[in-house]
Protein backbone atom coordinates (compact mmCIF):
# COMPACT_ATOMS: atom_id res chain seq x y z
CA UNK A 1 0.00 0.00 0.00
CA UNK A 2 1.40 3.39 -0.99
CA UNK A 3 0.43 6.96 -0.17
CA UNK A 4 1.68 10.41 -1.06
CA UNK A 5 2.46 13.24 1.33
CA UNK A 6 3.35 16.86 0.70
CA UNK A 7 5.93 18.43 2.99
CA UNK A 8 7.18 21.96 2.43
CA UNK A 9 7.51 22.08 -1.36
CA UNK A 10 8.23 18.39 -1.89
CA UNK A 11 5.89 15.47 -2.58
CA UNK A 12 6.91 12.07 -1.23
CA UNK A 13 5.62 8.55 -1.83
CA UNK A 14 5.31 6.41 1.30
CA UNK A 15 5.28 2.62 1.20
CA UNK A 16 2.98 1.79 4.11
CA UNK A 17 3.45 -1.95 3.60
CA UNK A 18 7.02 -1.84 5.01
CA UNK A 19 6.85 -0.42 8.56
CA UNK A 20 10.04 -0.16 10.62
CA UNK A 21 9.14 -0.55 14.28
CA UNK A 22 11.81 1.13 16.45
CA UNK A 23 10.11 0.45 19.78
CA UNK A 24 11.33 -2.05 22.34
CA UNK A 25 8.68 -4.50 23.57
CA UNK A 26 7.77 -4.63 27.25
CA UNK A 27 8.16 -8.18 28.50
CA UNK A 28 8.01 -10.09 31.73
CA UNK A 29 10.80 -12.43 30.68
CA UNK A 30 13.77 -10.90 32.46
CA UNK A 31 15.25 -9.60 29.19
CA UNK A 32 13.56 -6.22 29.35
CA UNK A 33 15.76 -3.10 29.21
CA UNK A 34 15.60 -1.30 32.56
CA UNK A 35 16.83 1.95 34.06
CA UNK A 36 16.51 4.19 37.11
CA UNK A 37 17.30 1.48 39.67
CA UNK A 38 14.03 -0.44 39.28
CA UNK A 39 13.56 -4.17 38.91
CA UNK A 40 12.15 -5.86 35.81
CA UNK A 41 8.49 -5.27 34.93
CA UNK A 42 6.04 -7.95 36.01
CA UNK A 43 3.37 -9.53 33.82
CA UNK A 44 1.43 -12.10 35.82
CA UNK A 45 -2.08 -13.57 35.97
CA UNK A 46 -4.61 -12.21 38.43
CA UNK A 47 -5.13 -14.50 41.43
CA UNK A 48 -8.33 -14.38 43.50
CA UNK A 49 -8.55 -17.15 46.04
CA UNK A 50 -8.20 -20.43 44.15
CA UNK A 51 -8.83 -18.77 40.81
CA UNK A 52 -5.86 -17.93 38.56
CA UNK A 53 -6.39 -15.95 35.36
CA UNK A 54 -4.48 -18.34 33.12
CA UNK A 55 -5.97 -20.77 30.65
CA UNK A 56 -3.19 -23.24 31.42
CA UNK A 57 -4.39 -23.28 35.03
CA UNK A 58 -8.08 -23.77 34.31
CA UNK A 59 -9.35 -20.27 33.52
CA UNK A 60 -11.40 -19.61 30.38
CA UNK A 61 -9.18 -16.59 29.62
CA UNK A 62 -5.71 -15.24 30.20
CA UNK A 63 -6.16 -12.26 32.53
CA UNK A 64 -2.85 -10.58 33.40
CA UNK A 65 -1.86 -7.66 35.55
CA UNK A 66 1.09 -5.63 34.28
CA UNK A 67 3.32 -3.68 36.67
CA UNK A 68 5.79 -1.36 35.04
CA UNK A 69 7.17 2.16 34.92
CA UNK A 70 7.07 3.84 31.50
CA UNK A 71 10.32 5.77 32.10
CA UNK A 72 12.28 2.75 33.27
CA UNK A 73 10.95 -0.20 31.30
CA UNK A 74 11.22 0.45 27.58
CA UNK A 75 10.24 2.80 24.79
CA UNK A 76 8.20 5.70 26.10
CA UNK A 77 7.11 9.18 25.03
CA UNK A 78 6.93 12.03 27.50
CA UNK A 79 5.73 15.63 27.58
CA UNK A 80 6.93 18.60 29.60
CA UNK A 81 4.77 17.36 32.48
CA UNK A 82 7.70 15.07 33.24
CA UNK A 83 9.57 17.98 34.84
CA UNK A 84 6.87 20.45 35.95
CA UNK A 85 5.18 21.02 39.30
CA UNK A 86 1.80 21.29 37.59
CA UNK A 87 0.32 18.21 35.93
CA UNK A 88 0.47 17.94 32.15
CA UNK A 89 -0.54 14.81 30.26
CA UNK A 90 1.13 13.22 27.25
CA UNK A 91 -2.35 12.19 26.12
CA UNK A 92 -3.29 15.86 25.87
CA UNK A 93 0.05 17.00 24.44
CA UNK A 94 0.31 14.58 21.50
CA UNK A 95 -2.69 15.07 19.23
CA UNK A 96 -1.23 14.38 15.76
CA UNK A 97 0.77 11.28 15.02
CA UNK A 98 2.54 11.53 11.65
CA UNK A 99 5.73 13.56 11.19
CA UNK A 100 8.58 13.90 8.72
CA UNK A 101 11.62 12.67 10.63
CA UNK A 102 15.37 12.54 10.09
CA UNK A 103 17.29 9.50 11.35
CA UNK A 104 20.89 10.37 12.25
CA UNK A 105 23.76 8.35 13.70
CA UNK A 106 26.12 9.98 16.20
CA UNK A 107 29.20 8.77 18.07
CA UNK A 108 29.08 10.51 21.47
CA UNK A 109 32.29 12.35 22.36
CA UNK A 110 34.34 11.77 25.50
CA UNK A 111 34.13 14.69 27.93
CA UNK A 112 35.91 13.71 31.13
CA UNK A 113 34.22 10.53 32.32
CA UNK A 114 31.12 11.19 30.22
CA UNK A 115 30.06 10.50 26.63
CA UNK A 116 28.20 13.49 25.26
CA UNK A 117 26.32 14.29 22.02
CA UNK A 118 27.26 17.83 21.05
CA UNK A 119 25.46 20.60 19.22
CA UNK A 120 28.09 20.47 16.47
CA UNK A 121 27.40 16.78 15.88
CA UNK A 122 23.64 17.29 15.65
CA UNK A 123 24.04 20.30 13.37
CA UNK A 124 26.38 18.42 11.04
CA UNK A 125 24.18 15.32 10.91
CA UNK A 126 21.03 17.32 10.11
CA UNK A 127 22.82 19.16 7.32
CA UNK A 128 20.37 22.03 7.30
CA UNK A 129 17.32 19.81 6.72
CA UNK A 130 13.97 21.06 7.98
CA UNK A 131 12.03 18.25 9.65
CA UNK A 132 9.43 17.80 12.38
CA UNK A 133 11.19 15.00 14.27
CA UNK A 134 14.71 13.75 14.85
CA UNK A 135 15.65 10.14 15.63
CA UNK A 136 19.12 9.77 17.16
CA UNK A 137 20.99 6.46 16.91
CA UNK A 138 24.09 6.41 19.10
CA UNK A 139 27.19 4.53 18.02
CA UNK A 140 28.29 1.87 18.55
CA UNK A 141 24.79 0.52 17.93
CA UNK A 142 25.06 -2.57 20.10
CA UNK A 143 22.26 -5.14 20.17
CA UNK A 144 22.65 -5.17 23.97
CA UNK A 145 20.67 -1.90 24.08
CA UNK A 146 17.55 -4.01 23.66
CA UNK A 147 17.98 -5.72 27.05
CA UNK A 148 20.48 -3.56 28.96
CA UNK A 149 20.30 -2.59 32.62
CA UNK A 150 21.31 1.08 32.44
CA UNK A 151 21.25 1.76 36.18
CA UNK A 152 24.53 3.15 37.53
CA UNK A 153 26.23 2.94 34.09
CA UNK A 154 26.44 6.68 33.26
CA UNK A 155 25.08 6.28 29.70
CA UNK A 156 25.78 8.86 26.99
CA UNK A 157 23.54 11.92 26.98
CA UNK A 158 22.62 14.99 24.95
CA UNK A 159 24.34 18.27 25.76
CA UNK A 160 21.81 20.97 26.57
CA UNK A 161 23.20 23.15 23.79
CA UNK A 162 22.38 20.34 21.35
CA UNK A 163 18.85 20.11 22.78
CA UNK A 164 18.43 23.87 22.39
CA UNK A 165 19.65 23.67 18.80
CA UNK A 166 17.08 20.96 18.05
CA UNK A 167 14.36 23.19 19.51
CA UNK A 168 15.58 26.23 17.58
CA UNK A 169 15.54 24.14 14.39
CA UNK A 170 11.77 23.84 14.74
CA UNK A 171 11.86 20.13 15.64
CA UNK A 172 8.98 19.17 17.94
CA UNK A 173 9.70 15.50 18.49
CA UNK A 174 13.01 14.13 19.73
CA UNK A 175 13.63 10.37 19.77
CA UNK A 176 16.79 8.75 21.13
CA UNK A 177 18.04 5.23 21.90
CA UNK A 178 19.12 6.09 25.46
CA UNK A 179 17.19 5.99 28.77
CA UNK A 180 17.37 9.78 29.01
CA UNK A 181 18.46 12.81 27.03
CA UNK A 182 20.15 13.94 30.26
CA UNK A 183 23.05 12.64 32.32
CA UNK A 184 22.01 9.82 34.65
CA UNK A 185 23.21 11.52 37.84
CA UNK A 186 22.97 15.27 37.27
CA UNK A 187 21.66 16.42 40.67
CA UNK A 188 18.21 17.00 39.17
CA UNK A 189 19.32 19.68 36.72
CA UNK A 190 17.67 18.05 33.65
CA UNK A 191 19.29 20.64 31.40
CA UNK A 192 18.55 18.92 28.08
CA UNK A 193 14.90 18.30 28.95
CA UNK A 194 14.49 21.93 29.93
CA UNK A 195 16.30 23.23 26.85
CA UNK A 196 14.22 21.13 24.45
CA UNK A 197 10.88 22.02 26.07
CA UNK A 198 12.00 25.62 26.64
CA UNK A 199 11.12 25.31 30.32
CA UNK A 200 12.81 27.97 32.44
CA UNK A 201 10.64 27.66 35.55
CA UNK A 202 9.27 24.26 36.57
CA UNK A 203 7.22 25.68 39.48
CA UNK A 204 5.35 28.36 37.54
CA UNK A 205 5.58 27.32 33.91
CA UNK A 206 6.78 30.03 31.53
CA UNK A 207 4.32 31.08 28.81
CA UNK A 208 6.61 30.06 25.93
CA UNK A 209 7.20 26.49 27.12
CA UNK A 210 6.58 23.89 24.38
CA UNK A 211 3.45 22.00 25.40
CA UNK A 212 3.16 20.01 22.16
CA UNK A 213 6.78 18.89 21.96
CA UNK A 214 7.68 15.33 22.98
CA UNK A 215 10.73 13.31 23.92
CA UNK A 216 10.82 9.58 23.21
CA UNK A 217 13.53 7.53 24.90
CA UNK A 218 14.80 3.94 24.69
CA UNK A 219 14.09 3.32 21.02
CA UNK A 220 16.25 0.95 18.98
CA UNK A 221 17.13 1.64 15.34
CA UNK A 222 18.61 -1.44 13.62
CA UNK A 223 21.74 -1.04 11.52
CA UNK A 224 19.67 -2.07 8.51
CA UNK A 225 17.91 1.30 8.69
CA UNK A 226 20.11 3.88 6.94
CA UNK A 227 20.32 7.49 8.02
CA UNK A 228 17.90 9.68 6.12
CA UNK A 229 14.38 11.06 5.93
CA UNK A 230 11.35 8.99 6.93
CA UNK A 231 7.70 9.33 7.79
CA UNK A 232 7.29 8.75 11.53
CA UNK A 233 4.10 7.41 13.07
CA UNK A 234 4.34 8.09 16.81
CA UNK A 235 1.68 6.22 18.77
CA UNK A 236 1.08 6.18 22.51
CA UNK A 237 -1.33 4.44 24.83
CA UNK A 238 -3.98 6.85 26.12
CA UNK A 239 -2.53 7.36 29.58
CA UNK A 240 -3.36 10.54 31.47
CA UNK A 241 0.21 10.71 32.73
CA UNK A 242 3.37 12.64 31.94
CA UNK A 243 4.58 9.67 29.88
CA UNK A 244 3.23 6.62 28.10
CA UNK A 245 4.66 3.48 26.56
CA UNK A 246 4.91 4.21 22.86
CA UNK A 247 5.36 2.62 19.47
CA UNK A 248 7.27 4.81 17.01
CA UNK A 249 7.19 3.37 13.50
CA UNK A 250 9.20 4.64 10.50
CA UNK A 251 8.24 4.44 6.82
CA UNK A 252 10.64 5.03 3.97
CA UNK A 253 10.09 8.07 1.73
CA UNK A 254 10.65 8.31 -2.00
CA UNK A 255 10.74 11.78 -3.51
CA UNK A 256 8.41 12.06 -6.52
Strands 64-67 and 76-78, by their bridges, are unpaired
Domains of the chain by start residue, with CATH? 2-26+70-255 (3.50.30.50)
Q: Is the pLDDT of residue 9 over 90?
A: no
Q: Is the pLDDT of residue 216 over 90?
A: yes
Q: Is-contact 108 122, C-beta < 8 A? A: no
CA dist 104 and 225 (Å) reads 10
> How high does pLDDT run on average in the chain?
96
pLDDT score, position 1:
80
pLDDT score, position 8:
87
Alpha-carbon dihedral sign for residues 49, 55, 57, 60: positive
- Listed residue (146, 213, 155) closest to 180, CA to CA: 155
Work out the average pLDDT over 175-179.
98
- pLDDT confidence of 29, banded at 50, 70, 90? confident
pLDDT score, position 3:
85
Work out the average pLDDT over 79-96.
98
Work out the average pLDDT over 45-53.
97
CA dist 200 and 183 (Å) reads 18
Strand partners of residue 58:
none
pLDDT score, position 207:
95
Query: Is the preceding peptide bond at 140 cis, omega within 30 degrees of 0?
Result: yes
CA dist 110 and 116 (Å) reads 6
pLDDT in tens, 108-158: 999 999 999 999 999 999 999 999 999 999 999 999 999 999 999 999 999
- Listed residue (254, 255, 7, 253) closest to 130, CA to CA: 7
pLDDT score, position 254:
81
Work out the average pLDDT over 177-198.
98
Q: Is the pLDDT of residue 33 over 80?
A: yes
pLDDT in tens, 91-110: 999 999 999 999 999 999 99
CA dist 79 and 242 (Å) reads 6
Work out the average pLDDT over 216-244.
98
pLDDT score, position 235:
97
What is the DSSP code (8-state) at residue 57?
A: G
Amino acid sequence: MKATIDYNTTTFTVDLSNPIDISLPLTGSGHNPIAWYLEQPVIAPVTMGDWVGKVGQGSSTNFNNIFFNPHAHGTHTECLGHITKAFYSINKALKTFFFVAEVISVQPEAVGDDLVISKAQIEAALGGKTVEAIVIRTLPNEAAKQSKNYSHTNPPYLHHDAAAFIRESGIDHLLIDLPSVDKEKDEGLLLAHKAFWNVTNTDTLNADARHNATITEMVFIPDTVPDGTYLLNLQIASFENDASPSKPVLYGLLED
